[in-house]
């Protein structure tokens, strides 16, 4: 038990606390450019996300609208300036893209959310909005929803942990990018979605700080979001 706790602590410190050394600098002009692009895309993306989630469950327009949101995030990310995959420390002291770390961290967050879903399922005022989100998976083609979910997850990480994070001052880029990510979900009207954005945003922002790139955050995001898509409905049914 003690050894397992020590291993977990070492893993969390390497993946979320201690940054990998890197030399990378942007000019003031490049950062100003990022901020202009980020500001415009944030407003447009938040509105587009709210409109996409307002589409009736089962309507094919939902898929097109969701992919449109993803395209907006991705286009804004690449238009803002250079993006980086990043590097993470391995157990043997070398570096990798951090995909395995991202997968494991996303899995941990997924487990916590599924346990929380058992509680949420017992509270009607919280259960209702979540049921509304799940309807898009129930009434649509699941493989299409999964594909849209994956594309959106990648695009969100490119924008929020790529462009937004790089546009903000170093002292606030982790919390700032998380706050803006959460704010972008407010037009959806689902507070639990905003709460999820805060939790996921804090996790991936910490990875971004450590690795200096988006590969690890993308792995965490996809693990969590696809896991929620496939596992939340049966867990919710169990809790209800």
- Which residues sit opposite 231 in a β-bridge? none
Query: In angstroms, rounded to a whole number, what is the distance separating the alpha carbons of residues 210 and 116?
Result: 28
User: What percentage of the chain has pLDDT greater than the value 70?
Assistant: 98
Average pLDDT over residues 110-129: 87
Return the residue matching tokens 């979540």.
Answer: 130
pLDDT at residue 35, rounded to an integer: 95
Q: Is 163 helix (H, G, I), strand (E, B) or coil?
A: helix
Query: In angstroms, rounded to a whole number, what is the distance separating the alpha carbons of residues 64 and 207?
Result: 30
Q: Tell how many helices (H) and how many strands (E) occur in the chain.
A: 10, 2
pLDDT per residue as tens digits for the range 213-229: 999 999 999 999 999 99
pTM value is: 0.94
Q: What's the pLDDT band for 240 if we cut at 50, 70, 90?
A: low
pLDDT at residue 92, rounded to an integer: 65
φ, ψ for residue 18, nearest 5 deg:
-95, 110
pLDDT per residue as tens digits for the range 26-55: 888 888 999 999 999 999 999 999 899 888
pLDDT per residue as tens digits for the range 126-161: 788 777 777 777 777 788 889 999 999 999 999 999
Q: How many residues does the chain have?
A: 240
């Amino acid at each position: 038990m003690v050894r397992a706790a020590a291993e977990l602590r070492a893993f969390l410190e390497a993946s979320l606390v201690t940054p990998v050394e890197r030399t990378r600098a942007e000019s003031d002009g490049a950062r100003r450019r990022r901020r202009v692009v980020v500001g415009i895309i944030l407003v447009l993306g938040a509105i587009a996300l709210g409109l996409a989630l307002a589409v009736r469950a089962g309507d094919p327009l939902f898929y097109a609208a969701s992919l449109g949101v993803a395209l907006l995030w991705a286009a804004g990310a690449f238009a803002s300036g250079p993006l980086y995959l990043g590097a993470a420390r391995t157990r043997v002291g070398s570096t990798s893209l951090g995909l395995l770390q991202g997968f494991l961290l996303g899995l941990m967050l997924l487990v916590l959310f599924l346990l929380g879903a058992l509680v949420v399922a017992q509270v009607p005022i919280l259960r209702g909005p979540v049921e509304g989100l799940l309807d898009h998976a129930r009434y649509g083609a699941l493989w299409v929803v999964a594909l849209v979910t994956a594309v959106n997850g990648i695009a969100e990480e490119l924008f929020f942990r790529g462009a937004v994070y790089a546009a903000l001052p170093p002292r606030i880029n982790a919390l700032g990018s998380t706050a803006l990510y959460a704010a972008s979900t407010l037009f959806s009207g689902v507070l639990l979605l905003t709460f999820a954005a805060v939790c996921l945003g804090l996790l991936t922002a910490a990875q971004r700080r450590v690795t200096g790139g988006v590969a690890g955050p993308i792995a965490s995001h996809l693990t969590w979001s696809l896991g929620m898509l496939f596992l939340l409905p049966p867990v919710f049914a169990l809790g209800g």
